[in-house]
Each structure stands twice: as structure tokens, then as C-alpha cells.
Amino acid sequence: MHLGPTLIVDTFAEAFRMRYARVIVTALDEFWLDAALREFCGYGSSVIGCDAEVGVERFLSSEETPDARPGAAVLAFGFSVEALAKALLNRAGQCLLPCATSAVFNGLPEGEDQVPLGKNLRFFGDGYQKSKVIGDRRYWRIPVMDGEFIAEQQVGVAKGVAGGNIIIQGETQALALAAARRAVDALADMPGVVTPFPGGVVRSGSKVGSKYKALRASTNDAFCPTLRGRVRTELAAGAQCAYEIVINGVDETQVAAATRTALHAAAGHGIPAISAGNYGGKLGKFHFRLREVLA
């Protein structure tokens, strides 16, 4: 199967069940919103080493946010409810509380689990914090040096899917990067998905295990162009560079839709093939077969 000149390899992306939360971050204006998001989402690429995989789902207008200010919906993924609760509390306390004008709200009130956020952050107020219930939701007002930091009592957590992916193979680094950016840009406003790695793009695609016992993952040598001839390569003829786009989503349907969108966006001139990363189907519950996704 081809999309124009690009071969869609007959393989599948292997994804995993993870828990996710959606938080709404707001600020006075776009500058301070960007500052808050950069801090909150930082070091949020792979749970191999990070506490959570975090990315902006979409930006929100002032008409869509709880406090009528510029905002964004952020998705955070973790392996368990407990791990995600800890990551969210740490990130909100270390990244949003210090950020001028920021506030944080529950973007998933219907989540099957609810974990504390403002409930614990309030103690920073040293007894001067105040709460208010609007409807059936509680908000905490924590005094800070520019006024008050507003944090909702809790954040919802639900079951999601993480690790969907495509691997874009380019004739040159420039062509592969351009295709990767096309794919990430095409997903930027899609609800229910994030691409949590730097710029949405992964150059350090990994495989499970290593010859070094201390490592759980190591370089995906089959897609490393400098190892061609030394390992069994999965690079297409003419491909000299590969980039992976990792897709996390709220459910299978959204990840499949995002995969289809990314494939269409990335295919084209200078991209001889697009593949995907998997582990033989033994580790991840969800298998997204590229050709079936397109069909």
C-alpha cells in the first residue's frame, strides 16, 4: 500500500493501557500561558524515565475556560492512578504555583477516579488559604505575591492509550524533519491526543531491553542509518534518516484517527516509507496496523 510515493509498511504500532488526566491551565495572557505550559510539560516525554508523559491537547479561548482567560487543555499520562496523582501534584506545585498569573482546573470531572490537587496545594497558604464551592466543585484560593493562585480541589483520571506511533523514513534529514513536522502540526488541534516528545518528534526510538542489564530500553538499531550493514535493518532503500511520532490518546478510536491523520500528513516527496515500532505484540494490548488504520 502506498500514499503517493510513500510505502506504508505492513506492520503495526504497539500501544499500552495507561491512565490519563486532563488539566486546564489558564493565565493572564498568551505570554504567561506559554511560560506555565513550558514548565508544566517539561521533562514529560517518556515514562521510562519521566514521572509522566505530558503534552498540550489544544489551546482554549477565554470563552472555554473556567475563569474566562486564555488557557489550554493538557493531557498527562502515567502507569497508575497513584503515580499520576503524585506527578500532577509535583508539577502543579513546582511549575504552576510559581508561574505569574497561572491557575489550574479539573478538565476531566467525569473521570472514574479523582485525585487531590488543590486539596494538597492549599497548605502552601499556611492557613490563609480559602475555598469556595461553585456547583458541586471546590476551588482553593492560595495567597501569593501577585494576588491568589486558584487551584481546583481535585483532578479526574481515566483509562487511556499510550505509545501509538509511526516511524517516518526520509531520504535526507531535512526531508524527514519536514515530514515529521507536518505530522505533528496535523495533530496539534485534534482533541483527545498529544505527541509528548520534544517538538512532538522522537529521534531516540527504542527497543525493549539491552545488552546492559541496568537498562530497560535501548536504541532501536533497526532504524539507525549508521548501523546499516551491522544489524538487520528495517530502513527502506534510500532512507538515510528516521523519526518517530509517539501518539498518546484518551482511547483507541482517537489514537487510530490520529495515526491515520499523521500518515497522510507525513507521506510525500522524499519519504520512501513509513513504518511503526512494536515489540512483537507481547507487551502492549493495543495494536494499530497501519494499513488497516488507513483502510
Ranking 36-40, 47-51, 83-87 by mean pLDDT, the lowest is 47-51
Contact between 184 and 199 under an 8 Å Cβ cutoff? The reply is yes
How high is the pLDDT of residue 46? Answer: 92
Integer Cα distance of 234 and 130 in angstroms: 58
CATH topology (fold) of 2-15+161-294? Alpha-Beta Plaits (3.30.70)
pLDDT above 80 (res 153): yes
Q: Is the dihedral of CA 55, 272, 269, 224 positive or negative?
A: positive
How long is the chain?
295
Give me the pLDDT at residue 279, please.
84
Report d(CA 132, CA 262) in Å as an integer: 43
At residue 284, the pLDDT reads 86
Q: Please state the rounded mean pLDDT for residues 30-48.
A: 96
Of 3.40.50.720, 3.30.200.20, 3.30.70.520, 3.40.50.300, the CATH number of 18-158 is 3.30.70.520
Look at residues 284, 275, 245, 295 and name the one whose alpha carbon lies nearest to residue 12.
275
Q: What is the pLDDT of residue 281?
A: 79
Average pLDDT for residues 130-151, to the nearest whole number? 97
Q: Does position 127 have pLDDT exceeding 80, yes or no? A: yes
Q: How does pLDDT run across 74-121, given as a tens digit for each residue?
A: 999 999 999 999 999 999 999 999 999 999 999 999 999 999 999 999
* 282 pLDDT higher than 80: no
pTM to 2 decimal places: 0.94
State which amino acid sits at residue 24. I
Alpha-carbon gap, residue 242 to 277, rounded angstroms = 12
Q: How do the domains of the chain map onto residue ranges?
A: 2-15+161-294, 18-158
Query: What average pLDDT score do residues 115-144 get?
Result: 97
Amino acid (1-letter code) at residue 200: G
Interval 234-280: pLDDT, tens:
999 999 999 999 999 999 999 999 999 999 999 999 999 999 999 88
Span 63-82, average pLDDT = 97
Domain 18-158 in the same topology as domain 2-15+161-294: yes
Closest to 105 (Cα-Cα) out of 135, 137, 62, 130: 137
Q: In 3-state terms, what secondary structure has residue 112?
A: coil
Q: Between residues 283 and 58, which one has the greater pLDDT?
A: 58
Q: What confidence score (pLDDT) does residue 207 get?
A: 87
Averaged pLDDT score across all residues of the chain:
96
How many Å apart are CA 11 and CA 24, to the nearest integer?
Answer: 36
283: pLDDT confidence band, cut at 50, 70 and 90? confident
Query: Given this model, what pLDDT does residue 226 score?
Result: 96
